[in-house]
Structure 1
């Protein structure tokens, strides 16, 4: 099923709403033929038994199937308020292939998650940012809201620089109720000469900590272009920063090992920072099937309780 949910397979479908529907329907069909069979029902209707729960609430039919203790959720527990928080920086428009840009990949994934959440009657909202937050859509669960979110996503264009820590700090101050914050960004550090990339990562992690301390659950979808992950270059190459406009020429063949090592350190720093905060960190690139990310959402959705 993953091949049918790949960016290449969806590239010929221009309408974002059709892409989202195809991703979600293909994903849910795949659940029925995978180890996650029955999971889509389980995560929406049950939560794990916790110490202090009344044993009378245990669903013994689910125990018979899974050998794990689950209790039926009360109706008030089932609504999860989600917010899509999307990076609009110009670097998100980068691609070195005929496939989707990082931004197209993110909007398709965000649209699919919106579709999935509204199917579960979970309210979902949209927040976008570059160096500051932009007008957002409030979290709603009505069917017509899917069209509102997709229309807004379809009209977005990546441009300019970004400030992830400032944006996340504003999001933490803005959200008043417990929510699932889904961050979509390439998380590339700014080339401002003032802070090292390690210091900039620490700033992002600190802003994520503010969200956690405010009581929100967080998933970080760290999306890079396939070329940024694989570095498929040889010989002399000139690279230009899409946000600052600065250029640098390198011998790609001799630079590859250093670049890949630095990229691994870059991703590991975010992974470690997120793990310490109990935040789901999902590294993706534009060649990866969309069901990879949707599975992470379901796992977080179940683990919320």
Structure 2
């Protein structure tokens, strides 16, 4: 029975969840309608071996190609694909509040997470969620029921970014509590200590998890094309600055380029899947990247 979680929520919380659900559904349905038959969809299990048909077996699993060659009935047996358990790690720290478009980074990241969850549950995959800032704020266990989307959305909608980020302890706790191997998708602006970030990610990798980083950034963080005197509020307790941004642009863009280059280099070296996503991009960008990742992952398993 579907849990009626809405009766415990304030009207504004219900509204946030409803908007998130509507956005997620429309993004996924639009994304799927634009795809032709893909090796991703319907591949929740991996083929293992054949065995002879026995009374009571599901005839849908008969391999008719083998029958045409041998005149005997054989059943295709499958084994569960352990990579179909996905945990979404969503950064809800103060810096994610920044945004100059229709959605700030937090709203964009939550919508991307909701769309991914909707897609995965549609495929009957298990999805879990962890939200964090300087500590883990909420945890939703991985389940594959369609009704599980309610729990995921309510956890996302309940957060209010306010704290700084302490990434290593969060990743360490996830590694210690996620014993079953699967895919970990980190959704964050990555404004964290990089040594701590990659130390934590390597720990997850050592535990057998497949890693994907969706690096969410606002256009102005990437382009810095402000004009005129501007007041800048520092991220996570770093103060304010009033200045002409044109005097800072060259140095800022150089620092941003070095930051992105270093993150990409470290991800490539550690074989972490990485993608920068602007908040101005269509919200199915995360789905497209996940789909490409999933196809590549399955191909590497079969080789």
Asked if these proteins are the same fold (TM beyond 0.5), I'd say yes
Distance 1:261 1:46, change over 3 A: farther
Residue pair 2:93, 2:161 contacting (<8 A) in 1 also: yes
User: 2:137 corresponds to which residue?
Assistant: 134
- The answer as to whether partners of 2:83 and 2:210 remain within 8 angstroms in 1 is no
Q: Matched residue of 1:135: which SS? A: strand
2:152 pairs with 1:143: no
Q: How far is 1:124 from its partner? A: 0.5
RMSD (CA atoms): 2.5
Q: Taking structure 1 as reference, are residues 257 and 73 closer, same or farther at Cα in structure 2, changes over 3 Å only?
A: farther
Aligned runs of 1:6-155 on 2, under 5 Å? 15-32=19-36, 37-41=37-41, 44=44, 74-77=78-81, 80-97=84-101, 99-155=102-158
How many equivalent residue pairs? 260
Map of 1:228 onto structure 2: 221
Query: Which deviations, in whole Å up to 9, do the C-alpha atoms of 1:276-298 show, x marking residues without a partner?
Result: 11111111111011222112211
RCO greater where, 1 or 2, for CA within 8 Å and sep 6 or more?
Answer: 1
Deviations 1:207-237 (A, max 9, x none): 1111111100011111011111111212433
Contact (CA 8 Å) 2:41, 2:123: kept in 1 or not?
no
Structure 1 unpaired stretches of 5+: 1-12, 48-52, 62-71, 190-199
The TM-score normalised by the length of structure 1 is: 0.78
User: How many Å separate the matches in 2 of 1:43 and 1:299?
Assistant: 14
* Pairwise CA distance, 1:158: 1.1
Distance 1:262 1:73, change over 3 A: farther
Native 8 Å contact 1:164 1:187 kept in 2 = no
Q: Distance in 2 between matches of 1:14 and 1:201?
A: 35
TM-score, with normalisation over the residues of structure 2? 0.79
State the 1:75 CA deviation.
4.0
Matched position secondary structure for 1:74: strand
| Corresponding position: 1:241 with 2:234 | yes
Q: CA deviation at 1:43?
A: 5.2
2-structure distance, mates of 1:267, 1:217? 21
